[in-house]
Amino acid sequence: MRCPFCAHEDSQVKDSRPSEDGAAIRRRRQCEGCGARFTTFERIQLRDLTVVKKDGEREPFDREKLARSIAIACRKRDIPTERLDRLVSSIQRQLETRGDEVRASEIGEAVMDGLKALDHVAYIRFASVYKDFSEPGDFAEIAGAVGDGS
């Protein structure tokens, strides 16, 4: 594993432990070149996913992009990082079972479903961007849907 500090090619694993409810392995490493310590995560990947965007453009699935969009929706909410990691892993597993290609809208809907179960405010935040809200009534409509349990 290449050191992120000095780019030395070799590092030594100092500690390994399961994380994300066993869906990943967290490894503490130490660079043999500069001695710096850093953490890596190893996750199961069932297949390489391609995201088909609304305009037909295709791009590789990016787990970090998914995690960032969820983190933005959950900013300043009292949600443990581990729960967010589990949500991202759960969505990724769902998508990987659907095939090699997944529509961007499927990702958005999966995030909406996950956030609705996790935190209503984060759900509304994400929905406002994903569904491109343009007026206050849009917020009232989706907030009503959350309040009704639908």
pTM of the model: 0.71
Q: What is the pLDDT of residue 139?
A: 83
Taking only the tens place, the pLDDT of each residue in 2-35 is 999 999 999 999 999 988 677 789 999 999 999 9
Residue 78 CB partners (closer than 8 Å, separation 6+): none
**Residue whose C-alpha is closest to residue 53's, from 114, 97, 94, 107:** 107
Taking only the tens place, the pLDDT of each residue in 39-55 is 998 877 667 899 999 99
Q: What is the pLDDT of residue 146?
A: 75
Cα separation, 2 vs 40, in Å, equals 11
Taking only the tens place, the pLDDT of each residue in 91-122 is 998 998 888 999 999 999 999 999 999 999 99
